[in-house]
Amino acid sequence: MTTKLWQWLAWKLPRQLVYFAAIRLIAHATTDPYSYTIVPELTAMEALARWYPKMNKEQEP
């Protein structure tokens, strides 16, 4: 039930807000301890794991 709620909410968000959030996520995933990252090789799941490491079982450097 909660997944459907979050999906519904995500689809209702303004497109510019979602775009900004995606840019912010990618910027975070490619700075400081991750500055070695080649951006085209960064996967969405890797970026999300770097943004919120508590959800990731393996901790990044």
Helix, strand, coil % in the chain, rounded to nearest 5: 70, 0, 30
Residue 34 lies in a domain: yes
Tell me the residue range of the domain where 25 lies: 13-55
Residue 3 lies in a domain: no
Residue 23 lies in a domain: yes
Burial class (CB in 10 A: 0-12, 13-18, 19+), 16: exposed
Residue 26 lies in a domain: yes
What does the pLDDT look like over 16-25, one tens digit per residue? Answer: 999 999 999 9
A 10 A CB-CB count for 6 gives: 9
Read off the tokens for 36: 């070695």
Residue 8 lies in a domain: no
Residue 4 lies in a domain: no
Residue 61 lies in a domain: no
Residue 60 lies in a domain: no
What does the pLDDT look like over 3-55, one tens digit per residue? Answer: 899 999 999 999 999 999 999 999 999 998 889 999 899 999 999 888 887 66
How many domains, in total, are found in the chain?
1
